[in-house]
Amino acid sequence: MTMVLAFVLTLGVLIVVHEYAHYRVAVACGVKVQRFSIGFGRVLWRRQPRPGGTEFVLSALPLGGYVRWIDDREFPPISPAERAYTFGAKPLWQRAAIVAAGPVSNLLLAVVLYGAAHWIGVDEPKALLAAPPAGSLAEQAGLRAGELVTAVGVPEAGQPDPEWTDVRSMTDLRWELTQAAVRGERLHLRVADRSGHGSRTATLALDRLGSREIDAGMARRIGVGQPYSEPVMGEVKPGGAAAQAGLKEGDRVLRVDGRPVADGLSVRERVRDSVLPDGSAARQVWTVERQGRLMELVVQPRVATEGSKRIGRIEAYVGRPPEMVNVRYGVLEGLAQGAERTVEVSVLTLKMLGRMLIGEASLRNLSGPLTIADYAGQSVQQGLAYYLGFLALVSVSLGVLNLLPLPMLDGGHLMYYIFEAVTGRPVAGVWLRWLQGGGALIMLLLMSLALYNDVARLLGLH
C-alpha cells in the first residue's frame, strides 16, 4: 500500500506541476483554456468555477494529463469573437513559451526538491571503501578496505592535474563514479586512512570498462560503491547454515579457510563464491573471536539461485551497519547544489539515451512505471529527504523526456516551431498527421519496452 500511495503521489505532483505550467502560461498569453485535466479517460470529478471558464477535471487513468485550449484546427468552427483567443492565433514565441513551460517547470521543480532535500539533511554512509573484489578496477588501482575517499577528480585535456571535487559521503562517490563511467573517463580518487591521514591518489581506469549497462555487474567490475563494514556477525536466522555451524550474533570473523578477511563484504563474497563446479557448496573453516576467545567453526553454505547464477548462502548477515555522516546544506548552498545536480542528471540522462540510440548502452537501462513505483515506496520508507531526492530525479527525467524532439512530446512541437521560424510557414497538416502517428507509435514501443524491463527485473530475468 505504501508503494502504491507513494507512486500516485509522485505522479500526481509531477503531472500537476507540468500541466499547470502549460495552463498558467497559456492564460497569461491570452489563450482560452477549455479544460485542465489530471489523468485520461472517464472523468471522475469536475469543477468549473465560472460559466464559460476553464473546466478542471480528475480522470480515471492517472498516467498523465492535458490542457485543452481552443484552436481553429481542433475545434471548428470558432466564432470571430473567439478567434483572437485561439492558440494558433498567438505569435510564434508565445506558442513556444506555452509548450516549453511544462518541461521547464519540471526542471525548476527538481532544483527546489533537491535543495529541500539538502536543507533537511540525510544520513548517508561515509565514503569508507569496502574490500575491492578480485580483478576489479579498484583492486588494480591498489585501493584497500577501510580507506576513506575525500575527493575525486577528472583529468582535463592539456592539464597535468585534475580539478578536485570534495566527497562528503558514499552517495557522492557513487554519483561521481556513474558520471565518469557513462563518459568513459578515468577517475582519480584522493584517499586516506579512516582518520583522514596519509593522503594519496589512486586512479580508476573507467575508460577501459566498455560496459553497455549501468547495473550491478558494472559496479562489481569497478569494485567501488559498497561502504566498509566490520566483519562482525549480525542477525543469525534459526535453523540456517550459520546457526547450525554455531555462529552467533556479535562474533568477529578473522579468517575463512585460513585467509584473513578485510571486512564484512569480503566474508559475504567468500560465501557467495563457495559453490563448486558440481553444483554443491564447499565447506569452510571460519576463525572467529567471541568475547576475547578464538574459535574455529565449520560452516556449510547452502546453494541458492540468484537469477541464472548459483550462489552460497548461510542465512545470516555478516557486517555491522556502515559508519554514517549527516550531509546538510544551507539555503543558498542547497539551492546551488540542487541546480548543479539537476544539470548533471539532465546531461547524464541525455548521454544515456544517446548511447542507447547508437547501441553503446543496453535498452535494459530503460525503466517504466513499476520500477518508479518500487523506488518511490523504498524512498518514502527511508525518510522525507530521500523521497524528495527521488521525486527530483523523476522530475528531471520527465522534463528531459518531454524536451526530446519526438512528435507527441513538447520537444516535438518545439521542433515544429523552429521549422516555422526558419521557413516562415507552419508544418503542413498532412505532415503533422504523419508525424503525430509516427510519434505515437514510437512512444508506444518505448512504453512497452520499459514495462517489459520492469517485469523482467521483478522476475530476476535481468
**3-state SS, residue 414:** helix
**Could you give the maximum distance between any two Cα atoms of the chain, in Å?**
94
Nearest to 410 by CA among 164, 65, 6: 65
Q: Which residue is catalytic, options 19, 124, 147, 269?
A: 19
The grid coordinates listed for 37 are 485535466
CB neighbourhood size of 339 (10 A): 17
Burial of 268-301, coded b for 16+ CB within 10 Å and e otherwise, reads bbbbbebbeeeeebeebebbbeeeeeeeebebbb
Burial of 115-151, coded b for 16+ CB within 10 Å and e otherwise, reads bbbbbbebebbbbbbbbbbeebbbeebebebebbbbb
Do the Cβ atoms of 233 and 248 come closer than 8 Å?
yes
User: What does the alpha-carbon distance between residue 320 and residue 54 come to, in Å, rounded to a whole number?
Assistant: 58
The grid coordinates listed for 293 are 576467545
Q: Is 389 left (phi over 0), alpha (psi -120 to 50) or beta?
A: alpha
User: What does the alpha-carbon distance between residue 441 and residue 198 come to, in Å, rounded to a whole number?
Assistant: 58
CB neighbourhood size of 207 (10 A): 13
Please indicate whether residue 19 is annotated as part of the active site. yes
Catalytic sites, residue numbers: 19
